[in-house]
Amino acid sequence: MPDHFSSLGLGGIALLRKAETRSLSAENPDGSKGGGARANPGDDEHCTPAASELGRGWKVRPCIRVRSGETVVLADVAGPGVVQHIWMTVLHERLRMIALRVYYDDQTTPSIEAPLGDFFANGVDGCALIGSIPVAVNPRGGMNSYWPMPFARRLRITITNDGPHDLSEVFYQITYALTDVPADAGYLHAQWRRSMTTRQHPEHTILDGVRGRGHYVGTYLVWNQFSNQWWGEGEVKFYLDGDGEHPTICGTGTEDYFGGAWGFRTAANPETSGPVTYSTPYLGYAQALIGGERVPCHGLYRWHIPDPICFARDLRVTIQALGWYPTRKFQPLTDDIASTAYWYQSLPSAAFPALPSLNDRLPR
């Protein structure tokens, strides 16, 4: 059977499959067959005056408007099927003001809930360039997700404008296949958390409260650094299936977890060189914003696609905030860390903690 879910490469592209491709956009809001490019200029508030001289079929309804406080349904699709690609773009300064939510089958609580930009590994300023396998972000702010999102009975995707201003242009396209879904297919989940670590407890929780069977597939971090020296000594820990005080999987440091080393520096003298950013298929340090009026800020991702972390009953993931004292002892840090965790699991899944309010989501 052709594999719609696990292959993100070219391995199965030549295999013919029994599936129907559909795509949702402002030009075809319900994804119906033959339903695209039907709007006439002036049909509704989403139509653009730029099409008035050409008329129907000529980019009449390319985007939608979302008022302040409004929730809009981008997708409400009957299954079985799998989302294969999501492309979106909005004004970059609004990304943390928009909440993305995804609901599967009969669940009333979302399985994906995050600020829009953070889901696409773009939670700093919307300008990161990401060249990875499941997420690609291109100039300027063209955000793409290739995470497979299977669903058995129903898929709903919504966005909520929590900002004080109306959004005049939200562009999107969601491509999916109507096809059989294997009984053992997991559902993509993503959860956003933010915390201020303390010197007494220099640890951020990336994920907790997960119940069920699944595998962890990715981490995206936005790290606002309030210390003035090195910040990346903390270990990432995975507590699996009843682990108590001690985790089953424990890394050796923050830059190590994201595939780098020695402070992300290339010069022989680390005291006189800055960090070097990179974006690779599975690992990235896409942004290092250092200097100017803002605190130093770092954007990093790791996708566990070749090396998913499997759990049978429960999962908790944490990261430490550690630097160095001049005495060469570890220094606990007070830093502002926001994380997006990605994992697949069976349903039903546990309800998430409440998404923080707007002011608690905005970049610092």
Rg over CA atoms, the chain: 21
Q: Is 261 exposed, middle or buried (0-12, 13-18, 19+ CB in 10 A)?
A: exposed
Q: Give the CATH number of domain 20-185.
A: 2.60.120.1390
The whole-number pLDDT of residue 3 equals 55
Among 171, 1, 185, residue whose Cα is nearest residue 82: 185
Reported as a single tens digit per residue, the pLDDT across 105-116 is 989 999 999 999
Helices (runs of H) and strands (runs of E) counted in the chain: 3, 25
Place of tokens 């129903």: 154
- Alpha-carbon distances, residue 318 vs 71, 263, 354 (angstroms): 32, 20, 19
Give mean pLDDT, residues 358-363. Answer: 92
Which one, of 125, 107, 112, 67, lies nearest residue 86 by Cα? 112
**106: which strand partners?**
none
Q: Which pLDDT belongs to residue 346? A: 95
Per-residue confidence (pLDDT) for residue 292, from 0 to 100: 77
How would you classify the pairing of strands 309-311 and 214-224? antiparallel
Query: What are the residue boundaries of the structural domains of the chain, listed by start?
Result: 20-185, 188-361
How far lies 76's CA from each of 35, 153, 336, in Å? 15, 11, 36
Q: Which of 170, 162, 221 is nearest to 342 (CA)?
A: 221
Average pLDDT (257-262) is 96
Residue 1's pLDDT band, with cuts at 50, 70 and 90, is: very low
Model pLDDT, residue 12 = 77
What predicted TM-score, i.e. pTM, was given to this entire model?
Answer: 0.94
Residue 99 has pLDDT above 50, yes or no: yes
CA dihedral sign of residues 174, 142, 289, 163: negative
Third-level CATH fold of 188-361: Jelly Rolls (2.60.120)
The confidence band for 103, taking pLDDT boundaries of 50, 70 and 90, is very high
3-state secondary structure of 120: coil
**What gap in Å lies between CA 218 and CA 216, rounded to an integer?**
6
Tens digits of residue pLDDT in 9-63: 677 788 888 999 999 999 999 999 999 988 888 888 898 888 888 888 899 989 9
Compute CA distances 173 → 23, 30, 50, whole Å: 7, 11, 20
Per DSSP, 230 falls in state -
